Chain A
Amino acid sequence: MSVRTTEGAGAGAETSPQPASPAPRPSFGARMLGPQRRNLWFWVFVGPFAVGLGLFTYVPLAWSVYLSFFDAHNTVTPTDFVGLDNYTSMLGDDAFLGSLGTFLLFTVFIVPATFALSLGLALMVNRLRFAQAFFRSVFFLPTACSYVVASLIWKLSIFNGVRFGLANTVLGWFGGDQTAWLSTTHPPWYWLVIVTVRLWLQAGFYMILFLAGLQRISPQLYEAAAVDGARPGWQVFRHLTFPQLRATSVAVVLLLVINAFQAFDEFYNLLSDARGYPPYARPPLVYLYYTALGREQNLGLGSAGAVILALIIAVATVVQARWFGLGRKED
Chain B
Amino acid sequence: MHDAHDALTRAGRALRIVLLIALALLFLIPFYLLVRNGLATEQDITAPDWTFFPHDLQWSNLTEVFRDPNLPMGRALLNSTLIAVATTVGTVLLASLAGYGLARIPYRHSGIVFYAILGTLMVPAAVTFVPSFVLVSSLGWISTLRGLVIPTLFSAFACFIFRQYFLGFPKELEDAARVDGLGYWRTYWRIVVPNARPVFAAVGTIVFIGAWNAFLWPLVIGQDQESWTVQVALSTFTTAQNLNLHELFVAAAVSIAPLVLVFLLLQRYIVAGVERTGIDD
Which residues of A are at the interface with B, using a C-beta cutoff of 8 A? 6-7, 10-11, 13-15, 34, 38-39, 41-46, 48-50, 52-53, 55-61, 63-64, 67, 76, 121, 124-125, 127-128, 133, 135-150, 152-154, 156-158, 163-164, 166, 169, 200, 204-205, 208-209, 211-213, 215, 232-233, 247-248, 250-252, 255, 258, 261-262, 264-265, 274, 285, 288-289, 292-293, 299, 302-303, 306-307, 309-310, 313-314, 317, 330
Instruction: Indicate whether B63 reaches chain A with its CB closer than 8 angstroms.
Output: no
Contact among A38, A59, A128, A157 with B131 in the assembled complex (CB-CB below 8 Å): A59
> B130, A148: Cβ atoms under 8 Å?
no
Which residues of B are at the interface with A, using a C-beta cutoff of 8 A? 9, 12, 16-17, 19-20, 23-24, 27-31, 33-34, 37, 45-48, 50, 94-95, 97-98, 100-102, 105-108, 110-111, 113, 116-117, 119-132, 134-135, 150-151, 153-154, 156, 159, 181-186, 188, 209, 212-213, 215, 231, 234-235, 238-239, 245, 248-249, 252, 255-256, 259-260, 262-264, 267-268, 271, 274-276, 279-281
| A286: min CB distance to chain B, Å | 9
Q: A13-B183, A60-B135, A232-B9 are in contact. Are A50 and B98 (CB under 8 A)?
A: yes
> A34, B231: Cβ atoms under 8 Å?
no
- Among B125, B183, B264, the most chain A Cβ lie within 10 Å of the Cβ of B183
> A39, B127: Cβ atoms under 8 Å?
no
15 interchain pairs (CB within 8 A)?
Answer: A34-B107, A38-B105, A38-B106, A48-B94, A52-B94, A58-B120, A60-B135, A121-B23, A147-B215, A148-B235, A149-B256, A156-B249, A208-B275, A233-B12, A264-B125
Q: Which 9 A-B pairs have the closest CB atoms?
A: A45-B101, A212-B275, A146-B213, A60-B131, A49-B98, A60-B128, A63-B131, A306-B127, A144-B259
Contact among A63, A146, A208 with B212 in the assembled complex (CB-CB below 8 Å): A146
- Residues of the A chain whose Cβ atoms lie less than 8 Å from the Cβ of B27: 138-139, 141-142, 200, 204
Contact among A60, A209, A310 with B275 in the assembled complex (CB-CB below 8 Å): A209
| A178: min CB distance to chain B, Å | 11
Contact among A44, A163, A310, A330 with B122 in the assembled complex (CB-CB below 8 Å): A310
> A64, B107: Cβ atoms under 8 Å?
no
A14 to B188, CA, bound (A): 14
A264 to B125, CA, bound (A): 10
| B34: min CB distance to chain A, Å | 6
A135 to B25, CA, bound (A): 10
Q: Is the interface of A mostly helix, strand, loop or mixed?
A: helix
> B31, A141: Cβ atoms under 8 Å?
yes
> A158, B30: Cβ atoms under 8 Å?
yes
- Residues of the B chain whose Cβ atoms lie less than 8 Å from the Cβ of A154: 30
> B45, A164: Cβ atoms under 8 Å?
yes
- Residues of the A chain whose Cβ atoms lie less than 8 Å from the Cβ of B129: 60, 293
A13 to B248, CA, bound (A): 59
| A186: min CB distance to chain B, Å | 27
- Residues of the B chain whose Cβ atoms lie less than 8 Å from the Cβ of A64: 127-128, 130-131
